[in-house]
Structure 1
Amino acid sequence: MKNLFLILFFLAYTFGYSQKKVLQTKFTSETITIDGKLDEPIWESVSIATDFVMFQPDNGKPIPENKRTEVKVLYDNDAVYAAAMLYDNEPSKILKEISQRDDFGASDVFGVFINGFNDGQQDFQFFVNAADGQGDCITTDSNGEDYSWDAVWKSKAVITDFGWIVEMRIPYAALRFSSEKKQTWGLNFFREIRRDRQKYTWNFIDSKIGTFTQQTGTLEGIENIKTPTRLFLLPYSSFYVNANGHQKTIGTLKGGMDIKYGINDAFTLDAILIPDFGQTKFDDQILNLGPFEQQFNENRSFFTEGTDLFSKGNLLYSRRIGGRPNSNPTVAENETVIENPSSVDLINALKVSGRTKGGLGIGILNAVTKRTFVTIENKDTKETRREEVEPLANYNVLVLDQRFRKNSSVSFINTNVTRNGSFRDGNVSALVWDLNTIKNTYNLSGNFKYSYVNDIADKKGVYTSLNFGETSGQYRYSVGGDLVTKDFDNNDLGINFETNYYSLYGNANYRILNPTKFFNSFRINYNLYTQFHKETGKIQGNNININVNLDTKKNHYVGFGINIAPVESYDFYEARAENRYVILPENYGAWLYISTNYNNKFAFDFNPSYSIFNETNRRTYELTVGPRYRFNDKFSLNYSFDFSRRNNNRGYVDSVDEDLNTSTPETIIFANRNVITYANSISGKYSISSKMNFNVAVRQYWSYAENKNFLSLKQDGRLTDYENYNTNKDSSFYSWNFDLSYSWWFAPGSQVSVLYRNNAADFDRTINKDFGKNVTNLLNNEALNHTFSISVKYFIDYNSIKSKI
């Protein structure tokens, strides 16, 4: 009888947690004040969501009674409302660090996850922390969390004698759903008890299954809502003062407006009129000695917010829009460029995105950039002329993404760049698939991309890949391959470095799903990658990687691993010449990463690595150290020191023609060099409240390459000593960036930003190893740019204007 009882209990436990929970909501005509008091009578009559279950680290464990969580949901014709009672038997120990939006810091968090189509594919997630701060993101299983998306909604968090309370108002404008009279939404609630590093959800998220968004509960009861017009205006005005040693102080006043319009409840139009990106975060420039351009992060909010559809196929590198000019000017020997814009101005941009009831996602992004000229001066006559380096250009992205069976999708993507006149145009089309079995145990994914470039010589190319893997359980694996033809080129609106290869790769890993005596989490990975040159079959790249990642019982993170390239490889890019390559030696390396518990006032990150190459005295040492200290809930500072040293690194420096009267190919010069890099970064914040913050960010960077001797590249890919070259090709690059900012969210969606910035960069062929003097010289340089700016943006809801009128 006892055994029968245990079996029935186990079955009931398993059945209960494997089913979707259902929460009933109800309509309210009462005015709900978002104050964290929950004193409106209607709250007493609505169903309660409770019985939360641990997601991490002890997956499936019920929440303790003394930390129980109770959530209720109401709705009206404008919004849904959520009220959460978060019990805690030690309310004085609730962590509540104050921080800016989307940065929860060391703080308890409550979240509401909504999927208006209940298709298991995309969650709109809204978070409130115990310091009354907001965060929001769009989440998909394929792309993870996108915190660049910001909605306008209201919330209030209040600490009480029994725990804390959260009250939220989420307008329909912040969501996407069908036009059905009777709505059924995917729904989950989330709670993190930060001091214990424990995360709970209302509907159980089984970590054995390789999906998060498909394991939600259901919200029922929303019927016959009459949603208002979704039209929002965001006018802004900015004032800039710029100065440096080369020009007088200049003041500039700018103004413009962003528009967001709900075409219907599922589709939204976003548009920029008169763009202003003057307060965008600076780029972390480096000394780039390699054959490929440096890839920068996108920091402009229009190109980061809600762009999950446009990331399909990895074809969009939005920094191309308004980036550097596409061509270089033709300059005679007696001419010099005196004015050379570093970027192309954006005229306007818009995007339309949404999803139909049938699961078809449609995304359109379009942007237009201005003609751009450089000014060239004749050294002899001092006359100037202008030359066009970037014409009027149109950038366009189209995405059609069909979801089905709540866990799979097939997408078509097209990117197109059309430039006025004789400049090159580019077009890329792709078919992308992500297919999962019904139980989310196996995945088949891949793509087929076709590029066409209209230039002096037209080019057509193909990029295709296929990957299969097991995605559930403790043991998981994947295998796959890529094929890229020589003329594949998506660099007009995307970014791609290597072509003309095929590759094979595989991964196997093991993880624990629940804590053990020593670890909260533990995972070991084995990765294998081999790349072959498509035309010759030579190995272009090979790597075996084994790594371990774990969390200790005290919530310290530790990772370590080894990398092995066991055979020589052929690099067809470093030589910067057609059909030429350099042979890279075998190499072996190891790394360690330690990150202590950020809940502690003092924490640090420690990341050393070491690599050895099968060449005389060729070594690489790298070290990152990052201490951080939280003085109190308002004030914290983080410091990071990065150092790397590459001894006897061998890389390209020049190409010379030995004899112009013969058919002898040009001589490709390499240098045997030491490359040393130092980078110091400081970031800090002082938060008066969750809506008013001061932030500081400082980065000093210095990297130099000191050539020891020169080598010539032979036809067989080997390097040999070369004595007939004495040009100075040493490189030294310095940069400095300092940002001090103040932001105040004085109303929902409305912000005042004040920024002081100074920055400078310098490249030199002479290396001065006096570190302090280098920094001083850079800061005293006349090229140090100073910028002071004030920006005000105000969020206007069309319905509020309409009601007042």
Structure 2
Amino acid sequence: MGKPFSLILLFFAIISTFDSYGQRKNLQAKSISENISIDGKLNEAIWNTAPVATDFLMLEPDNGRPISPNKKTDVRILYNNDAIYVAAILYDDEPQKILKELTQRDNFGTADHFGIFINGFNDGQQDFRFFVSSSGVQMDCLATEGGEDYSWDAIWDSEVSITEYGWVVEMKIPYAALRFSNDEKQTWGLNFYREIKRDRQKYTWNLIDMKIGAALPQTGQLEGIENIKPPTRLFFIPYSSFYVENNKEGTDNKFKAGMDIKYGINDSFTLDAILVPDFGQTKYDNVVLNLGPFEQQFNENRPFFTEGTDLFNKGNLLYSRRIGGSPSTYLYSSDENVIASNPSTVNLINAIKISGRTSSGLGIGVLNAVTEKTYGTLRNTQTNETNRVVVEPLTNYNILVLDQRFNQNSSVALVNTNVTRNGEFRDANVSALVYDLNTKNNKFNLTGDFKYSYINEYGDNDNLNGINTAIQIGKKGGKWRYNTGATYVSKEYDANDLGITFINNFHSGYVNLGYRILNPNSVFNTFKINTNYYAEFQNTTGRLQKGEINIDFTSTSIKNDYYAISVYISPLETYDFYEARVNERFVNLPKNVYSSFYFSSNYNRKFALDLNPYFTVTSEENRVSYGLKIAPRYRFSDKLLMNYMIEAYNQNSDRGWVAFDGDAIIFAERDRRTLTNELGLKYSMNPKMTLNLAARHYWSYAENNQYLTLQNDGSLTSNSTFTVNKNSNFSTWNFDLSYSWWFAPGSQISVLYRNNATDSRTEIDRRLGNNFKNLFNNNLNNILSISVRYFIDYNSIKNKF
């Protein structure tokens, strides 16, 4: 460890002499005692006495160019003991052309926007960002260098008005929506943002230099706020939900009630808890026909597990769908007279998380969740007797993160995940050291991690200990960017109890080189080209698992249409150690070339189109695949938007595992066809009331042309003795019609009608109408649900008690 660590220190000692950030602008906030009416009109005379932030500079596409005089932007800030107040006058010489689509909260849509970025600790680590559109829709997020988290929602007020000279924004942001110290005199990191949608131009008050790899430290400063105290941050969000479900089994009614609690432990740390959770109205999963060796990975749609989880994602050890997901064991019977019934999910009893960051930059995060004991059922078809068997015991999930940030742009983190199952079941523990080190100007970067997993299989003396480590070094600022890295994962590494790991037992290396323009030219607003060289080897045999040369080109034209071309070349035969489903067995994969083209027209137009053809050719005769995705969208008005997507994907002479026949591993040469249709409609009555429709039909089948036997050398030979029908014909349907009304700050009524159906069989019928008939005939499930959530701020009710 000594020599590599010394080289790392030498690297940063040499390049730490590069220039730092540019000059930071300053704005003085003005203290007030009078009331401010949030109406978007700026009628109060006090606004005229406040200092002005102006002289905005372009963020994109022509980074650094001053805003034109006819788009001048002036911003003022006032404050009292409860909140800060923001007034922005956004001049526009053509106010009739201001785009102002109505959307749901946190959806930017096709509209102009104004935003304020606040960092109460002025440490360049995390922004609280508040946006409002020209139609009055609010967006807010927590922002780190890892991205923006729009699942975070604060309670704040805003109003806008369109004027003859542009538009006006007025905002009130309570201190309860922010984080800052107890200091008598406050100095906050501050930036303002303006987007002129019809020109696809974005501006900030303090310049964010795109040549620098980090944006958050490039802020101005807000001064002048004195003698304020962080309020008690205690919020209760009780809810109640009612469900009516109808299917071929009959009709069932269900009532649920519970509460979310948010408590500010101090000025930096927050506790979130859910008591008796209800996720019945979360978005449906886009299930597919999965014939591969790995599970399908789904997006997390539950708000508790998406909001404010930046800390918990350190090291990529958390796949939160494990919590309340499928049971860890699967019930089956070798007796043909016994039918096994397995639950698809496990109920979540409760969950809490505590997260925050100290004034010294130490981030601390704790997430804990408990799921209930869950049973599967065995039923004897002859005696009709049933027997319940535990498939998942009472289980505790825990993740702890300690993340020390320094120099405003670097961090070292320790992460631990633990899953403890009651009784004679498997337990798991994974720990990680994660580092992200950047030079002062953010142009050069060193990242990496070391992960260690320990699996305790009950009754098994051979418990597993595995490691996973990676390192990357490179340049991430300027026109030319490059990096190189390597990864090693041992055979025993397993993070799947609370994370998700598809492959292990390999080592890999890569080199990446890219070029981009930082300012528009006569042809492109943006232009990037990137090439990557990647090689991955299986540890035990040293065989090449993956070897690719990738070239990616992306650009935006001067008319703001987006183009992308990708070419991935695998020039050597490789070996797949997972498709066979048997340890150390592999199948040979042919040389291949994948290519795709993507076009997305400017969404400012009423009619826009996304187009994506793609194909793969291989060195094996007739083994090709090709697909086409077409997604038109039409904006009928500022209130009504329609999206549609159709995708067809064909795979000819695909080869994959289908069964075991004694000791033989049976593959099939098969033709696969997939057709996906999706429809979305959005009708926004006003900024707080929206009607949404989402529908998806997915149909995929795999028809086996011949069976093959896998040989020890990875080749496949013809098999004429295996005759079991292993065809797959899978269809699924999802339909959601929802109404959402934010009837008070943080309070919502939502009504959802949902129906869904799934059909899986071995008979192949290529007629779309017949597949629809089979899908809807016997198994359509209908759900009507009504949910009410009400936001209660302790500060607003404490005097009443």
- Normalising by structure 1, report the TM-score: 0.96
The answer to whether the Cα contact below 8 Å between 1:239 and 1:252 also exists between their aligned partners in 2 is: yes
Match of 2:202 in 1: 199
CA distance in 1, matches of 2:107, 2:169: 17
User: Is the 1:243–1:787 contact (alpha carbons within 8 Å) kept by the matching residues of 2?
Assistant: yes
Report the secondary structure of 1:239's partner residue: strand
Q: Counterpart in 1 of 2:443?
A: 441
1:249-276 alpha-carbon deviations (Å, 9 max, x no partner): 1111111110000111111100001100
State the Cα distance separating 1:687 from its structure 2 match: 0.4
3-state SS of the aligned residue for 2:656? strand
**Structure-2 residue corresponding to 1:567:** 572
Q: CA deviation at 1:698?
A: 0.3
2:759, 2:774 within 8 Å by CA — same for their partners in 1? no
Q: 1:474 aligns with which of 472, 479, 498?
A: 479
The corresponding residue for 2:44 is 40
Equivalent residue number for residue 7 of structure 1: none
The residue aligned with 1:782 is 778
Aligned to 2:163: 160
Runs of 5+ in structure 2 lacking a partner? 1-18
Which has the higher mean CA deviation after the structures are superposed, 31-40 or 684-693? 31-40
Q: Distance in 2 between matches of 1:717 and 1:531?
A: 18
Corresponding letter in the other structure for 2:576: D
Q: What does 1:174-193 align with in structure 2 at a 5 Å threshold?
A: 174-193=177-196
Q: Tell me the distance in 2 between the aligned counterparts of 1:794 and 1:292.
A: 41
Q: One-letter code of the match for 2:150?
A: Y
Could you say which residue in structure 1 is the equivalent of 2:641? 636
- 1:460 maps to amino acid: N
Asked if 1:483 corresponds to 2:480, the answer is no
Question: What letter corresponds to residue 223 of structure 1 in structure 2?
Answer: E
Q: CA deviation at 1:501?
A: 0.2
Give the direction of change, closer, same or farther, for the CA distance of 1:209–1:17 in structure 2 (3 Å limit): closer
Shift of 1:16: 14
Deviation at 1:331, TM superposition (A): 2.5
**Which residue pairs with 1:652 in the alignment?**
657
In the alignment, the residues of structure 2 paired with residue 396 and residue 669 of structure 1 have an alpha-carbon distance, to the nearest angstrom, of 40
Match in the other structure for 1:382: 384
Say which of 715, 718, 722 aligns to 1:721.
718
Q: Secondary structure at the match of 2:222?
A: strand
CA distance in 2, matches of 1:489, 1:182: 50
Inter-partner Cα distance in structure 2 for 1:726 and 1:242:
41
Structure 1 gap segments, 5+ residues each: 1-14, 658-665
Q: Name the structure 1 match of 2:281.
A: 279
Are 2:738 and 1:741 equivalent residues in the alignment? yes
Question: In structure 1, how many angstroms separate the alpha carbons of the residues matched to 2:182 and 2:545?
Answer: 53
Deviates more, 1:300-309 or 1:148-157: 148-157
Whether contact under 8 Å (2:59, 2:203) holds in the other structure is: yes
> 2:799 — aligned with what?
803
2:767 to 767, 770, 773: 770
Do residues 89 (structure 1) and 89 (structure 2) align?
Answer: no
| TM-superposition CA deviations, 1:381-431 (whole Å, max 9, x none) | 111111000000000010111000001000111000000001101100000
After superposition, the Cα gap between the structure-2 partners of 1:91 and 1:710, relative to the gap in structure 1 and judged at 3 Å, is same
Within 5 Å, which residues of 2 pair with 1:62-211?
A: 62-141=66-145, 143-211=146-214
Q: CA RMSD in A?
A: 1.3
Change (3 A) 1:530 1:102: same
Question: Is residue 267 of structure 1 aligned with residue 233 of structure 2?
Answer: no
Aligned to 1:662: none
Shift of 1:153: 1.3
Distance across 2 between alignment mates of 1:350 and 1:482: 34
Question: Alpha-carbon deviations, 1:709-729, whole Å to 9, x = none?
Answer: 011111111111111111100
1:596-646 deviations in Å (ceiling 9; x for gaps): 000000000000011100101110101110000000000010000111111
Displacement of 1:28: 2.1
Cα offset, 1:562, TM superposition: 1.1
Distance 2:427 2:611 in 1: 46
Q: What secondary structure, in the 3-state scheme, does the structure 1 residue paired with 2:469 have?
A: strand
Partner of 1:534: 539
Question: Do 2:315 and 2:432's aligned partners in 1 also have CA atoms closer than 8 Å?
Answer: yes
The Cα shift of 1:117 comes to: 1.6
Partner of 2:698: 701
Q: Name the amino acid aligned to 1:363.
A: G
Whether 1:329 aligns to 2:340 is no
Equivalent-residue separation in structure 2 for 1:330 and 1:676 (angstroms): 31
Is this contact kept in 2: 1:77–1:227, CA < 8 A? no
1:582-601 paired onto structure 2 within 5 Å: 582-601=587-606
1:550 aligns with 2:555: yes
**Structure 1 position 334, deviation (Å):** 4.8
Q: Distance in 2 between matches of 1:646 and 1:316?
A: 33
Shift of 1:432: 0.3
Counterparts of 1:724 and 1:69, CA distance in 2: 77
**Corresponding residue SS for 1:195:** helix
Tell me, what secondary structure is at the counterpart of 2:123? Answer: coil
**SS class of match (2:419):** strand
Q: What is the Cα deviation at residue 29 of structure 1?
A: 2.1
Once residues 704 and 181 of structure 1 are traced to their aligned partners in structure 2, the CA distance between those partners, rounded to angstroms, is: 67
- Aligned partner of 1:509 in structure 2 is 514
C-alpha displacement of 1:335: 4.7
Looking at structure 1, the residues matched to 431 and 81 of structure 2 have their Cα atoms a distance apart, in angstroms, of 41
Q: Give 1:11's aligned residue.
A: none
Q: 4+ residue runs of structure 1 moved beyond 6 angstroms?
A: none
- Give the Cα separation in 2 of the matches to 1:393 and 1:118: 40
Bigger Cα displacement from structure 2, 633-642 vs 338-347: 338-347
Question: Does 2:245 match 1:236?
Answer: no
Q: Which residue of 2 aligns with 1:791?
A: 787
Judged with a 3 Å threshold, the aligned counterparts in structure 2 of structure 1 residues 330 and 674 are, in CA distance, closer, same or farther, namely: closer
Kindly tell me the number of residue pairs found equivalent between the two proteins.
Answer: 780
2:415 corresponds to which of 393, 413, 416: 413
Deviation at residue 581 of structure 1 after TM alignment = 0.4
Q: Secondary structure at the match of 1:611?
A: strand
Aligned-pair CA distance for 1:221? 1.4
Shift of 1:587: 0.2
Contact residue 335 and residue 376 of structure 1 kept, 8 A: no
Q: Which amino acid aligns with 1:788?
A: L
Deviations 1:293-344 (A, max 9, x none): 0000000000001111111111000000000111012435155446532110
User: 8 Å contact 1:176–1:354 — kept in the other structure?
Assistant: no
Code of the residue aligned with 2:788 in structure 1: it is V
In structure 2, what is the Cα distance between the partners aligned to 1:332 and 1:477? 56
The answer (yes or no) to whether the contact 1:203–1:216 under 8 Å persists in 2 is yes
How far apart, in 1, do the equivalents of 2:338 and 2:200 lie?
A: 60
Partner residue of 1:8? none
Opposite residue 524 of structure 1, the aligned amino acid is I
CA contact (8 A) 1:178 1:356 kept: no
Task: State the Cα distance separating 1:379 from its structure 2 match.
Answer: 1.5
Of stretches 703-712 and 453-462 in structure 1, the one that deviates more from structure 2 is 453-462
Query: What is the Cα deviation at residue 370 of structure 1?
Result: 0.3
Distance in 2, Cα, partners of 1:493 & 1:31: 50
Quote the residue 1:308 is aligned against: 310
The DSSP-based 3-state class of the residue aligned with 1:18 is coil
Q: How many angstroms apart in 2 are the aligned matches of 1:328 and 1:777?
A: 28
1:782 to partner: Cα distance: 2.3
1:615 and 2:615 are equivalent in the alignment = no
How far the C-alpha of 1:690 sits from its partner, in A, is: 1.0
Q: Work out the CA distance in 2 between the residues paired with 1:529 and 1:696.
A: 42
**C-alpha distance in structure 1 between counterparts of 2:735 and 2:687, whole Å:** 23
CA distance in structure 2 between the aligned counterparts of 1:32 and 1:135, rounded to whole angstroms = 22
Return the offset for 1:530.
Answer: 0.8
Q: Select between 149-158 and 633-642 the one with higher mean Cα deviation.
A: 149-158
Q: Are the aligned partners of 1:693 and 1:744 in contact in 2 as well (CA < 8 Å)? A: yes
| Offset at residue 775 of structure 1 (A) | 1.3
Question: Over residues 119-158 of structure 1, what are the superposed CA-to-partner deviations in whole Å (9 max), with x where a residue is unaligned?
Answer: 11211111100000011111112x2122121112111111
For residues 568 and 139 of structure 1, the distance between their equivalents in structure 2, rounded to whole angstroms, comes to 43
Match among 244, 255, 260 for residue 257 of structure 2: 255
Contact 2:331 2:340 in 1 (8 A): no
Match of 1:464 among 437, 447, 469: 469
